[in-house]
Amino acid sequence: MRLNKFLAHSGAGSRRKCDDLVFQGRVTVNKSVIKEPGADIDPEKDCVMVDGEQVELKKVYTYIKLHKPAGYITSRKDPHYSRTVMDLVPRILDVRPVGRLDVDTTGVLLMTDDGDLLHKLTHPRHEVEKKYDVWLKWPPNSGDPETELSKGIILENGDRVKGDAHPQNSKKTHYLVVLREGKKREIKRIFRYFGTQVIRLHRFEFAGIRVDDLAEGKWKKLTPQEIEHLKSLVNTSST
């Protein structure tokens, strides 16, 4: 890669400004001053510094939201399932799912190649909100989700879970559930604790991001505002 192109992509300035930095002798490659903007460098191996400060390429990350349909597993590949969410997005994007949704669960699924943000959005410490519509086969007959879940309950394997559950109909067979951490099949296990069975599960919001504007199976890139919002939730600086 040409040195001036590398500097521009690293955020050192415009291509013209980067040329000037080189001409002024302010740029070194492997501790040697280089005064030729078109000099060829290897971004993976060479140490480039401007005024004594190392500069590196800024990777342009991809952030998308997918309206996951039922029947797709949230994995890059799985020997037990022929269809994964990776089949719904172009392979060239090389993104990974942010968290998981069960194969029969629908709704918003974020995907990115920004490993740092992915890790932070799924770490329990940040308490990122996930909101679900939950439909039940029959009303809870062992306890009250609305009062007990907010205080915290202990599931069959010893996991302690806490969240909010708000009935959406008089029969109490439809709930809006808000969780701030993710455990495997958590919602299904929560309602099993309350003596009922989930028959349909839809995540309509993740970290404030929705897919109301997308048909099932469709995806789109996040807006700059949405990306900034996600980073602000987990105190990740913008790049």
Catalytic residue IDs: 102
Q: Where are the alpha helices (DSSP H) in 107-144?
A: 115-122
Instruction: Name the nearest CA neighbour of 178 among 128, 221, 111.
Output: 128
Strand bridging mode 106-112 / 198-206: parallel
Contacts (Cβ under 8 Å, ≥6 apart) of 124: 180, 181, 182
Closest CA to 139 of 117, 181, 167, 112: 167
Name beta bridge partners: 167.
Answer: 175
The DSSP secondary-structure symbol of 209 reads: B
Q: Give the list of residues 6+ apart from residue 43 with CB closer than 8 angstroms, or none.
A: 1, 6, 56, 57
Rounded CA separation 15/22 (Å): 11
Q: How far is CA 90 from CA 62, 87, 98, 179, 223, in A?
A: 12, 7, 17, 30, 18
Query: What residues pair up with 209 in beta bridges, in sequence order?
Result: 206
CA 57 vs. chain centroid, Å, equals: 22
